[in-house]
Chains A and B, each alone.
Chain A
Amino acid sequence: MKVWHYSGLVVALIILGIQLVPTELPEVTQDNPGDLIGSRIVDGEVADLLQTACYNCHSNVTQYPWYSHVAPVSWLVAKDVKMAREEVNFSIWSEYELMDQLAILDDIYSTVEEKHMPLPIYITMHAEADLDDTQRQKIIEWAEAAMDILAEEY
């Protein structure tokens, strides 16, 4: 019994201890003049879907839940958001070259169609990001149409 108490204390100390490991969650900035939403290629329902299902990681306006500040969850969240923004950050849409924008839209089409995004682990904690088939269809149809609009500029 004593051993059991003792190991419980050790676990508690470890959890407390790892809170001291410095973790920096990627920064949040609310003013993003180059955001995809605000560009002429998206509005209305699709903009809402993207904000609900994608923007928490793929933009500068991440809303961090309380547990994302607690290690070890914070490590995972920090890593995922950082990688997500490197892959595509909708808040800096206007900074991407036309060719890159086309590639991103093409990737949106396939990852949403094949249900690789939003990530399953994200959906378990964010039910609102669990896109149904109609919503996925709306996004992929939009991505294809947006690609045609952009290709006209080429």
Chain B
Amino acid sequence: MKRIALLPAAAIVGLLFFQASQKPEAEKHPDFLLFDAKMPANVKAIVDQKCYGCHNAESKNEKGKKKLDWDFFEAEKKSKQLATMSKINEVLTEGDMPPARFLENKPEGKLSEEEMAILKEWSAGKKKKGE
């Protein structure tokens, strides 16, 4: 009798484990909200090499992960992607990324002039009509 009473409890505990182990999945959005242009390959290559190390879903760098998570970027809706690009453009223009402290230990992480130019051009987005 006691064992049967335990079953529902075990089921609930099991359910909790099931939920906890679910991987967080980026919210899917209807197609009309999706950014039509996927990230260009040359941009993606630089991002993978120079940014992704801190800005990813598994990153131990909590601040970096919170500010920008490349694993979610392409699944985000268009408005959010554009806002993110705009902020990327700002930190690159200000020279705030990659952080100076990070580069002290890892000078090879610095963006080359060419890489910087490619990222800046991409993150600036297309200009408004008439410009």
Taking Cβ atoms with an 8 Å cutoff, the residues of A that contact B are 97-100, 102-103, 105-106, 144, 147-148, 150-151, 154
A103 touches B86 (CB 8 A): yes
Interface of B is mostly: helix
User: Known pairs A99-B83, A102-B82, A154-B82. 20 more at Cβ < 8 A?
Assistant: A97-B128, A98-B82, A98-B128, A99-B85, A99-B89, A99-B124, A102-B79, A103-B86, A103-B87, A105-B83, A106-B83, A106-B84, A106-B87, A144-B79, A147-B79, A148-B33, A150-B79, A151-B33, A154-B125, A154-B126
With the chains together, A88 CA to B77 CA distance in Å? 24
List chain A residues, Cβ under 8 A from B77. 148, 151
Cβ–Cβ < 8 Å partners of B125 in chain A: 99, 154
Q: How far is the CA of A154 from the CA of B82 in the complex (A)?
A: 9
Residues of A within 8 A of B84 (CB): 106
Separation in Å of the B91 CB from the closest CB of chain A? 11
List chain B residues, Cβ under 8 A from A103.
Answer: 83, 86-87, 90
- B80 at the A/B interface (Cβ < 8 Å)? yes
* A-binding residues in B (CB < 8 A): 33, 77-80, 82-87, 89-90, 124-126, 128
Closest to B66 in A: A110
Asked if A151 meets B82 with Cβ closer than 8 Å, knowing A97-B128, A99-B124, A99-B125, the reply is yes
Known A-B contacts A148-B33, A154-B126; the reply to A100 vs B79 at CB < 8 A is: no
Contact (Cβ within 8 A) B126 A102: no
| 26 A–B contacts, CB within 8 A, in A order | A97-B128, A99-B83, A99-B85, A99-B86, A99-B124, A99-B125, A102-B79, A102-B82, A102-B83, A102-B86, A103-B83, A103-B86, A103-B87, A103-B90, A106-B83, A106-B87, A144-B79, A147-B79, A147-B83, A148-B77, A150-B79, A151-B77, A151-B78, A151-B82, A154-B78, A154-B82
Q: How far is the CA of A47 from the CA of B104 in the complex (A)?
A: 46
What residues of B have a CB within 8 angstroms of the CB of A105 in the complex? 83
- Residues of chain A within 8 A (CB-CB) of B82 are 98-99, 102, 151, 154
- A148 B79 Cβ-Cβ under 8 A: yes
Which 10 pairs between the two chains have the least Cβ-Cβ distance? A151-B79, A106-B83, A147-B79, A103-B86, A99-B86, A102-B83, A151-B78, A102-B82, A103-B83, A148-B79
Bound complex: CA A47 to CA B81 (Å): 25
Question: How long is the Cα–Cα vector from A154 to B29 in the complex, in angstroms?
Answer: 18
